[in-house]
């Protein structure tokens, strides 16, 4: 129950305000249009929209909804109403505020403005609060001068990996005054771009600088989707988003229902991130691979590194530290092996494997938008390039009768859908082959690709005779090697049209074109995986076609294989301190440790780990 007087405090949040597409100024407009004001008035049961002052409302979220059952496609808004601005301007509006009652999912009362800023401003506030000098207030996006820790010797922290988790952990720790060294086996974005160019054009794979390894981690040459399942409106996600904005991301990522950056925006953003870390005193070393941990009396006291380009281990160097943050992603399989040599506990975990499907983007636009598809115009139009998300729950004996212990529950779902994107090679080894998708900010390519994957777990690994903590890694590798063989080598990807895959027949010479630049080869993809995976994919595709009629098309091409959807391993750690439970002084974070599944969740994990470690290192009391 809300006290009547409280209704005049803070904000009211109004959800699900739908504006028909033909009345909306378009996907890039984030202001309050007349059409939106009408919907607001309707939600408030306020008689005259024209009397509502637009400046009292601000857009929190905007997404496009073209689901089939809607009478017409619409933009759906979440809007905050600043009660004070209403009171100042229109005394006659008081009555209707008295009438307002929160309704779940429609109207919510936010008694105070949300406290969330970018990481830097949060830490500044945090330290002021901790030092007892300043009350909580919202942060702004200013950056600070480097902090000086009051003690002469700052704690030394080594962060291994410059993906989103490693970058955010480094940022928080450096802002708190730790002496941070950030080690990255791959190259800075400038050189990495050249290495990726050589891979795509001349088929030269640099083992240490590619789509997985290098500045920004696996997500740099990606679609840069910033959607996450960990709570879009949580303060931690907002902090990550605001931090990305301070480094150059467009502000609309704060409002867009499905925010994305695209590779072209990620590269300058990462350069700004790097320069900020360097200004804070972070020693960033590219081309520096961590080969081993230095452990004394069960404690990590340092790392052994070597020059990843020369690959000469005798060049190795030892770096001492008070704590090592391990943010290596899930393609650093050598690191998992190294951890086992120190008796670190690794636990196999469920993940998903499958194929990447690619359709002409126009076909997906047509399926999703019907006649409205013409408005897309390669990302320049009023409505976004169409995407999709499909999923199917699979159970029963059909798919799993090879297990003695009865049926297993599985699901098959689309993953990492890249509208207007391209299929890319995410292999880090010449004898293996796996793929993923990326796009540029306009999503203007002719193709739409997405992974179609089936969940797998320990029982599946065992069925292929893979046991132990790295059974899942071996399971991935098995299919990556098969794909490399079936593809015929030289990074050619095996492909089959969806129609042929459903009929178990080889696609002939007339396979449709693919966005994959290193070459494709017609192959029998149903021979790649065990039958329970192939059959799960086949039956799911039939279901997906019911949802998206036209999904099954001879113009849709399946590419093999998609194996690195999430980590096949978890490294147990303390929920409070983030320290590894089996090795002191080690802080496993991000996707490779099993605590994230995308850019934003990895960044959030890195941020929280930074806070936890700063606390353990007693850095909270540093000077403001």
Q: Which residues fall within 8 angstroms of residue 199, CB to CB, at 6 or more apart?
A: 205, 206, 210, 211, 425, 518
- Min CB(262)–ligand FAD separation in Å: 9
Tell which positions 421-450 bind ligand FAD, by CB under 6 A.
424, 426, 436, 438
Binding of ligand FAD by 224 (CB under 6 A):
yes
Q: Of the listed pieces 99-107, 206-214, 316-324, 449-457, which binds ligand FAD according to CB under 6 A? A: 206-214
Q: What is the 3-state secondary structure (H, E, C) of 456-513?
A: ECHHHHHHCCCCCCCHHHHHHHHHHHHHHHHCCCCCCEEEEEHHHHHHCCCCCCCCCC
Asked if 602 touches ligand FAD (CB under 6 A), the answer is yes
Interaction of residue 212 with ligand FAD, rule CB under 6 A: yes
Question: Following DSSP, what letter does each residue of 57-90 receive, concatenated?
Answer: EEEEEEEEE--TTSSS-EEEEEEEEEHHHHHHH-
Peptide bond into 561 cis (omega under 30): yes
411: its two tokens: 């699901």
18, 73, 163, 302: residue in contact with ligand FAD (rule CB under 6 A): 163
In whole angstroms, give the CA distance from residue 465 to residue 555: 37
> For the residues of 89-115, what is the DSSP string, one character each?
H-GGGHHHHHH---BTTTEEEESS---
Axis-axis angle for helices 164-175, 235-246 (nearest 10): 90
Pick one of 46, 75, 176, 211: the residue that binds ligand FAD (CB under 6 A).
211
- The window from 16-24, 63-71, 117-125, 205-213 that contacts ligand FAD (CB under 6 A) reads 205-213
Cβ closer to ligand FAD: 43 or 417?
417
The answer to whether 237 contacts ligand FAD (rule: CB under 6 A) is no
Tell me if residue 552 falls in helix, strand or coil.
coil
Q: Does 599 bind ligand FAD (CB under 6 A)?
A: yes
Site membership for ligand FAD, residue 274 (CB under 6 A): no
Residue selected from 164, 259, 419, 594 as contacting ligand FAD according to rule CB under 6 A:
164
The region of 58-66, 264-272, 493-501, 597-605 touching ligand FAD under the rule CB under 6 A is: 597-605
Q: How many residues sit in the footprint of ligand FAD (CB under 6 A)? A: 44
- For residue 88, which phi and psi values (nearest 5 degrees)? -60, -40
Token reading at 448: 């739409």
State which of residues 56, 60, 325, 327 lies at the interface with ligand FAD (CB under 6 A).
327
Give the Cα separation of 559 and 249 in Å (integer): 32
- The DSSP annotation for 353-410 comes to EEEEEEEEHHHHHHHHHGGGGGG-GGGTSSSPPP----EEEE-SHHHHTT-TT----E
Does 222 interact with ligand FAD (rule: CB under 6 A)?
yes
Q: How far is the CB of 293 from ligand FAD (least distance, A)?
A: 10
Comparing CB distances to ligand FAD, the nearer of 33 and 414 is 414
Q: Which residues pair with 57 in a beta bridge?
A: 81
Burial class (CB in 10 A: 0-12, 13-18, 19+), 522: middle
Measured distance CA(367)–CA(388) in Å, rounded? 10
User: What's the min distance (Å) between Cβ of 605 and ligand FAD?
Assistant: 7
206 binds ligand FAD (CB under 6 A): no
Phi and psi at 486, nearest 5°, equal -65, -30
Positive or negative: CA dihedral 120, 123, 128, 131: negative
Q: How far is the CB of 204 from ligand FAD (least distance, A)?
A: 18
| Listed ranges 67-75, 154-162, 468-476, 520-528: which one lies at the site for ligand FAD (CB under 6 A) | 154-162
Rule CB under 6 A: is residue 609 a binding residue for ligand FAD?
A: no
In the block, tokens 């105070």 appear at: 112
Given 116, 154, 162, 206, the residue binding ligand FAD (CB under 6 A): 162
CB atoms within 10 A of CB 590: 32
Nearer to ligand FAD, 183 or 495 (CB): 183
Structure tokens that stand for 80 in this block:
């905050």
Position 591 contacts ligand FAD (CB under 6 A): yes
Is residue 184 part of the contact set for ligand FAD (CB under 6 A)? yes
CB of 169 to ligand FAD, least distance (A): 9
> Whole-number minimum distance, CB 504 to ligand FAD, in Å?
29
Binding of ligand FAD by 289 (CB under 6 A): yes
The residue (of 222 and 236) whose beta carbon lies closer to ligand FAD is 222
Closest among 10, 38, 12 to 99, alpha carbons compared: 12
Q: Which residues of 89-98 are buried (b: 16+ CB within 10 A; e: fewer)?
A: eeeebeeebe
Closest CB to ligand FAD among residues 286, 475: 286
Q: How far is the CB of 163 from ligand FAD (least distance, A)?
A: 2
Residue 587 binding ligand FAD, by CB under 6 A:
no
Nearest distance from C-beta of residue 619 to ligand FAD, angstroms: 22
Name the residue nearer to ligand FAD (CB basis): 19 or 169.
169
Backbone angles phi, psi at 76, to 5 degrees: -110, 125
Q: Which is nearer to ligand FAD, 158 or 484 (CB)?
A: 158
Cα–Cα distance between 572 and 320 in angstroms, integer?
Answer: 24
**DSSP readout, 6-27?**
GGGSSEEEEEEEEEEGGGS--T
Smallest distance, Å, CB 23 to ligand FAD?
A: 31
Name residues contacting ligand FAD, limited to 335-374 (CB under 6 A): 335
Q: Is 186 in the site for ligand FAD (CB under 6 A)?
A: yes
Minimum distance between the CB of residue 373 and ligand FAD, rounded to whole angstroms?
23
Among 80, 118, 179, 223, binds ligand FAD (CB under 6 A): 223
Looking up tokens 């799993």 gives: 400
Residues that bind ligand FAD (CB under 6 A): 160-166, 183-186, 211-214, 217-219, 221-225, 289-290, 327-329, 332, 335, 416, 424, 426, 436, 438, 590-592, 596-600, 602
């Amino acid at each position: 129950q809300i006290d009547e007087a409280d209704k005049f405090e803070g904000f009211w949040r109004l959800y699900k305000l739908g504006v028909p597409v033909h009345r909306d100024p378009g996907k890039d407009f984030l202001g309050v249009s007349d059409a939106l004001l009408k919907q607001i008035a309707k939600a408030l049961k306020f008689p005259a929209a024209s009397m509502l002052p637009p400046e009292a409302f601000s857009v929190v979220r905007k997404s496009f909804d073209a689901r089939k059952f809607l009478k017409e496609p619409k933009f759906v808004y979440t809007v905050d109403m600043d009660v004070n601005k209403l009171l100042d301007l229109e005394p006659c509006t008081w009555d209707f505020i008295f009438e307002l009652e929160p309704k779940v999912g429609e109207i919510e009362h936010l008694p105070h403005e949300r406290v969330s800023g970018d990481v830097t401003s949060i830490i500044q506030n945090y330290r002021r609060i901790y030092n007892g000098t300043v009350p909580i207030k919202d942060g702004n996006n200013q950056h600070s001068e480097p902090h000086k820790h009051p003690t002469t010797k700052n704690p030394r922290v080594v962060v291994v990996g410059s993906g989103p988790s490693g970058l955010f952990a480094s940022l928080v720790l450096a802002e708190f005054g730790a002496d941070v060294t950030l080690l990255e086996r791959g190259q800075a974005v400038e050189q990495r771009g050249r290495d990726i160019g050589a891979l795509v054009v001349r088929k030269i794979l640099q083992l240490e600088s590619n789509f997985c390894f290098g500045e920004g981690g696996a997500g740099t040459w990606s679609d840069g989707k910033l959607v996450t399942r960990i709570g879009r409106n949580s303060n931690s996600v907002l902090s990550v988003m605001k931090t990305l904005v301070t480094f150059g991301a467009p502000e609309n990522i704060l409002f867009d229902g499905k925010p994305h950056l695209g590779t072209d925006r990620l590269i300058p953003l990462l350069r700004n991130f790097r320069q900020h870390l360097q200004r804070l005193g972070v020693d960033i070393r590219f081309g520096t691979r961590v080969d081993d941990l230095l452990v004394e009396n069960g404690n990590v006291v340092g790392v052994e590194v070597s020059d990843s380009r020369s690959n000469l281990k005798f060049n190795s160097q030892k770096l001492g530290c008070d704590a090592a943050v391990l943010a290596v992603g899930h393609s650093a399989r050598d690191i998992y092996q190294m951890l086992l040599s120190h008796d670190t506990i690794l636990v196999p975990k469920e993940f998903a494997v499958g194929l990447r499907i690619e359709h002409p983007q126009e076909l997906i636009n047509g399926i999703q938008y019907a006649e409205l598809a013409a408005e897309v115009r390669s990302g320049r139009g009023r409505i976004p390039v169409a995407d999709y998300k499909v999923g199917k729950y699979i159970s029963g004996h059909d798919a799993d009768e090879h297990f003695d212990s009865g049926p297993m529950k599985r699901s098959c779902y689309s993953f990492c859908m890249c509208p207007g994107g391209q299929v890319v090679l995410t292999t880090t080894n010449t004898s293996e082959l796996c793929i993923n998708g990326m796009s540029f900010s306009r999503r203007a390519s002719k193709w739409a690709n997405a992974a179609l994957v089936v969940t797998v777990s320990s029982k599946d690994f065992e069925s292929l005779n893979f046991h132990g903590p790295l059974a899942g890694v071996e399971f991935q590798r098995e299919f990556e090697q098969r794909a490399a063989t079936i593809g015929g080598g030289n990074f050619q990807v095996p492909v089959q049209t969806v129609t042929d895959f459903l009929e178990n027949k080889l696609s002939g010479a007339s396979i449709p074109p693919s966005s994959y630049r290193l070459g494709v080869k017609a192959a029998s993809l149903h021979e790649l995986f065990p039958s329970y995976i192939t059959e799960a994919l086949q039956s799911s595709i039939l279901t997906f076609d019911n949802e998206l009629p036209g999904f099954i098309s001879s113009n849709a091409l399946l590419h093999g294989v998609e194996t690195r959807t999430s980590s096949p391993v978890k490294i147990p750690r303390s929920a409070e301190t983030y320290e590894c439970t089996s090795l002191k002084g080690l802080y496993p974070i991000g996707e490779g440790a099993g605590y994230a599944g995308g850019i934003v969740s990895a960044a959030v994990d890195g941020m929280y780990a930074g806070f936890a470690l700063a606390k353990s290192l007693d850095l909270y009391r540093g000077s403001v």
